[in-house]
Amino acid sequence: MSYAEAIFASDALDGLSQIKASDCDFFRDAVAAAGVTGWSYYFPYLHLFSHLTGGDRILFETEGGSILLYRLTQKAGETRLSLLVPPFPFDPAALNRAGARMEAMNADRRQRIVRVPEEAAWQVAREGFSLRFNSDEYVYDADAVTMMEGSAYATLRRKVGRYDTVDLSVQPYSQADRAECEALLEAWRKGLSERGVKIGPYRAYTRRCLEGTDISADILRGEVIRVDGNVAAFTFGGPITSQMSSMFITVSDHAQPGLAYLQRQRFIAGNMGATPLFNDFCDSKRPGIAQMKRSFRPVSMHPLFNAVRG
């Protein structure tokens, strides 16, 4: 019996489902009703995470009008069930329902929530969970990044300005770009691996974006930057809510300095003000990424917490 067959045979997982592309509107409505804006609520991320084929994936169910997102992991021969985020919209009864599943599945009977956004932290704590700070998400003002005005954006203007005198094109992603983007992805991944940086399922998410999904281009938008006719960077992202967009996938040629700055600035500018804010997730405790993201002058740092009960 395969790992997937074994885990789905567990009574603790009875009634849980993978996330289909057709669930998009349902999930986005629940996110809007919950008033959450975290990167983890971006629907394409959830959909692609749900369809991973290794030992890490998410499944969901609904309880009393709330969505429960379970993360199922296998490590060192142990299968563990946790919540990816708190129930949304938040409901104590739904959280207790999830708690019962986690107790039944986990050898240590502990109940865990991987990412608790600041706006839900007090609700989770009130239900007896212990919280610990995990990381901050970087949130940008889309108009300010588009305009890059004033001394605060001097570094960003300088980084982006490196490409003012080159043969540069920025276009929506199409399948005609796929082969070049896949080659860049592999070179990018290899470069990170040689530096000891692991990217986990990010490669799988990226390949699925490049292959094409059934998710609307209004929700999952791709953009390609060519320098001297060659693909130098590509980006995928889109709206989490009407107020916040996600910077989901960013891949660039590390041999060309400043592309990580350029691709973000152009992708935000290309959003044409559709959402006033952009969430660029965390910095993975990598100083270079933190320095780059700070140059976008985040208007807020969105705290995430881990939570444990039992």
Residue 81 to residue 175: CA distance in whole angstroms: 37
Q: pLDDT tens digits, residue range 82-115?
A: 999 999 999 999 999 999 999 999 999 999 999 9
Q: What is the pLDDT of residues 185-208, one digit of tens each?
A: 999 999 999 999 989 999 999 999
Q: In 3D, which of 12, 15, 17 has the Cα closest to residue 104?
A: 12
CATH topology of domain 3-136: Aminopeptidase (3.40.630)
**Domain definitions of the chain by residue range:** 3-136, 137-301
Over 70: is that where the pLDDT of 124 sits? Answer: yes
Cβ atoms of 296 and 145 closer than 8 Å: yes
- What is the predicted pLDDT for the residue at 2? 45
Residue 77 dihedral angles phi and psi, to the nearest 5°: 80, 0
Q: What is the pLDDT of residues 44-73, one digit of tens each?
A: 999 999 999 888 999 999 999 999 999 999
Report the percentage of the chain scoring pLDDT > 70: 97
221-227/168-172 β-pairing? antiparallel
Q: Which fold has domain 137-301?
A: Aminopeptidase (3.40.630)
Contact 146, 268 (CB under 8 A): yes
Q: Which long-range contacts (CB under 8 A, 24 or more apart) does 73-79 make?
A: 74/3, 74/7, 78/107, 79/6, 79/7, 79/10, 79/105
Q: What is the CA radius of gyration of the chain?
A: 20
Distance from C-alpha of 246 to C-alpha of 281, rounded to nearest angstrom: 8
* Domain 3-136 identical in fold to domain 137-301: yes
- Quote the CA–CA distance of 225 and 237 in Å, as a whole number: 15
Query: What is the value of pTM for the model shown?
Result: 0.95
Q: How many angstroms separate the CA atoms of 296 and 195, rounded?
A: 25
CB 241 within 8 A of CB 37: yes
DSSP assignment, residue 58? E
